A and B are shown apart, each in its own frame.
Chain A
């Protein structure tokens, strides 16, 4: 309605001026009957009002549509419009929508192909990696151990790619169960044992046996792995322990991963969860892609858990995960 009025204000002004001009012409010509003039003016305005009402009745939907914001793309569906202007608009929008859809589908297909390719590629890489790891296990000396170490890093990198690729289809790929927290932590720690040993950092797990959390085991395993990886990386060589502890606190379970490594500069803290953000530490430590914490945050959000990170430079970092009950 507002739009309709705004649109027709100039027309109203135009009509008034036109009527008054005609009246003035007759008036100055000597035909000075005020009542007839008033009647003519009233009649003219009445016809104009009639036009406005007709116009509003036929274009109501059109104006409504123009003045409401688009909520979803589906609103552009075909609608029968009686007047030429609305139907032209409908048609235009529809063709645009169709074109847009085709383009979108094209990109979706491309994206999907890309993901499929990545997935297959990662799985293909696993076989040669297995061969390398197996050969390295055959004979143990300094060189093969070094090869095994690198292969392990490659495997962790590939694993990360797989999980990132899966992030898009997260909804189809997760199931929430009751998971024994201690067992989950121990398994993850065990997977990182070589990295721990090599870095002269040792884990300390303080979790009670009967502590269960509702989460997706596979994703949580991945998250813990990423966090442990960081904890070890940033405290390597310190000879300090990485402490993983948990406690039930009323309506939630809190899991803490505390390292006593280099910590994160204060300026970097607010941005650590951003993608590709590596900060000050990224310049000093290799293998910082800046993706680890970002993915962790994403997944934590999707699982409906919460994560906090606090760190003091030179003293260490504490990552805390809240599992609501």
Chain B
């Protein structure tokens, strides 16, 4: 579990960031006194800092330099400024990365993870692997494996993303827009590719003995029905 210090003067954004970080099991600390940032940094001794550029009294660059004098902890800038110069300034003042507002939570979390891995890599190895679990069905997104009981199947990257999306939202229907958006990250995906991948996932599920779990809801999308456990026991 890591401590993440959020230095952002818009209370709503700070709070949203904090709540999202806590969803992933880490601790978010929101600062509300922008005159004594350094003291609070020392008090909380966070593993990583999210820092806004526009702050009351001193700006983010200033605090970044201050923090750098006493610590090498990762600092990620978060700002509405998207100019190349601002990013260069941030990096030259000691930041490790830069995220422009508005941002996707996935990107913030991914960038935090990547900094944590780089700096505290040793701890991370001891940390727990991320898993998604529903009704005895377990997905290991990083290993791309799906496990039910003592049976395990290996998934392709797209299948793993698809499975994760379906499991996280189960038993709700997941629209094709949501799935396409998730799949789109490495290459462009169209409806046909989606259908192909759905078929493949069905095949993997069938290998685990779950023939009827993935249902097509006409005009809406797909739903993962959690009916496998009953069936197995019955």
Residues of A within 8 A of B (CB): 123, 126-127, 129-131, 133-135, 137-138, 140, 145, 151, 155, 189-190, 193-194, 196-198, 200, 202-205, 218, 241
As a 0/1 sequence over residues 116 to 149 of chain B, the CB contacts with chain A under 8 angstroms (1 = contact) are 0000000000000000000000000000000000
Partner of A203 from the list B13, B175, B176, B188 (CB cut-off 8 Å) is: B188
Q: Residues of B at under 8 Å CB distance from A?
A: 10, 12-13, 16-17, 19-20, 80-81, 84, 101-105, 169, 175-178, 180-181, 184, 188-191
- The verdict on A131 contacting B12 (CB below 8 Å), with A145-B177, A155-B102, A202-B188 known, is yes
Interface-central residue, B17, B20, B102, B105, by most chain A CB under 10 Å: B102
A-B CB contact pairs (8 Å), 21 listed: A123-B80, A126-B102, A130-B10, A130-B102, A131-B13, A134-B16, A134-B17, A135-B16, A140-B169, A155-B102, A189-B188, A193-B181, A193-B188, A194-B177, A194-B181, A196-B188, A197-B177, A197-B180, A197-B181, A202-B189, A218-B84
On chain B, the residues within 8 Å of A198 by CB distance are: 177
- A-B pairs with the 10 shortest C-beta distances? A130-B102, A202-B190, A126-B80, A134-B16, A130-B101, A133-B102, A197-B180, A131-B12, A193-B184, A197-B177
Q: Is the CB of B13 within 8 A of A205?
A: no
Query: Residue A130 contacts which of B103, B169, B181, B189 (CB distance < 8 angstroms)?
Result: B103
Give A129 to B12 CA distance when docked, in angstroms: 11
Q: Given the complex of chains A and B, what is the CA–CA distance between A134 and B84 in angstroms?
A: 24
CA distance A134 to B18 in the complex (A): 12
- CB < 8 Å: which of A129, A131, A197, A203 contacts B16? A131
Structural contact, A127 and B16, CB atoms closer than 8 A? no
- Rounded to whole angstroms, the CA-CA distance of A200 and B191 in the bound complex is 8
| A197 smallest CB distance to B (angstroms) | 5
Residue of B104, B177, B188, B191 touching A137 (CB-CB under 8 A): B104
Cα distance A205–B16 in the bound complex, in angstroms: 36
- Give Cα A135 to B105, complex, Å: 10
- 8 Å CB contact of A126 from B16, B101, B178: B101
Give the residue name and chain of the A residue nearest to B193 (CB): A202
In the complex, chain B residues whose CB is within 8 Å of the CB of A130: 10, 13, 80, 101-103
Interface centre among A129, A138, A189, A197 (most CB of B within 10 A): A197
Measured between alpha carbons, how far is A206 from B170 in the docked complex, in Å? 37
Say whether A134 contacts B102, CB under 8 Å: yes
Residue in chain B with minimal CB distance to A145: B177
Residue of B nearest to A132 (CB): B102
Q: What separation, in Å, do the CA atoms of A20 and B66 have in the docked complex? A: 99
Least CB distance, A217 to chain B, in whole angstroms:
8
CB A275 to nearest CB in B, in angstroms, measures: 25
Nearest chain B residue, comparing its CB with the CB of A129: B102
Closest to B101 in A: A130
Question: Are B102 and A205 interface neighbours, CB within 8 A?
Answer: no
Docked pose: A112 CA to B226 CA in angstroms:
62
Chain A residues within an 8 Å CB radius of B180: 197
**Distance between A20 CB and nearest chain B CB, rounded to angstroms:** 82
- Taking A190-B184, A218-B84 as contacts, is the C-beta distance between A127 and B177 under 8 angstroms? no
Interchain nearest-CB distance for A286 vs B (Å): 20
Among candidates A127, A145, A151, A218, residue contacting B101 with C-beta atoms closer than 8 Å = A127
With a cutoff of 8 Å between Cβ atoms, the chain B residues found around residue A196 in the complex are: 188
Closest to B23 in A: A138
Min distance, Cβ A220 to any Cβ of chain B, angstroms: 13
Q: Across the two chains, which residue of chain B brings its CB closest to A193?
A: B184
Residues of A within 8 A of B19 (CB): 138
Residues of B within 8 A of A133 (CB): 102
Hey, which chain A residues are within 8 Å of B176, CB to CB?
197
Q: Please name all residues of chain A whose beta carbon is closer than 8 Å to the beta carbon of B104 when the two chains form the complex.
A: 137
B20:A138 contact, CB within 8 angstroms: yes
Give bound CA distance, A137 to B177, whole Å: 14
Question: Please, how many angstroms separate the alpha-carbon atoms of A205 and B101 in the complex?
Answer: 27
Closest CB in chain B relative to A46 CB, distance in Å:
76
Q: Tell me which of B105, B178, B189, B190 contacts A134 (CB under 8 A).
A: B105
Q: CA A155 – CA B169 in complex, angstroms? A: 28
Q: Closest CB-CB distance, A184 to chain B, in whole Å?
A: 14
A262 to chain B, nearest CB (A): 20
- Taking the closest CB of chain B, its distance from the CB of A150, in whole angstroms, is 13
Write the nearest CB–CB distance from A139 to chain B, whole angstroms: 11
Report chain B residues within 8 Å CB of A123. 80-81
Q: Taking the nearest CB of chain B, how far is it from the CB of A240, in angstroms?
A: 11
The residue on B at minimum CB distance from A133 is B102
With A126-B80, A203-B188 known to touch, is A134 a contact of B181 (CB < 8 Å)?
A: no
Query: In the bound complex, how far is the Cα of B180 from the Cα of A198, in angstroms?
Result: 10
Select from chain B the residue with minimum beta-carbon distance to A173: B83
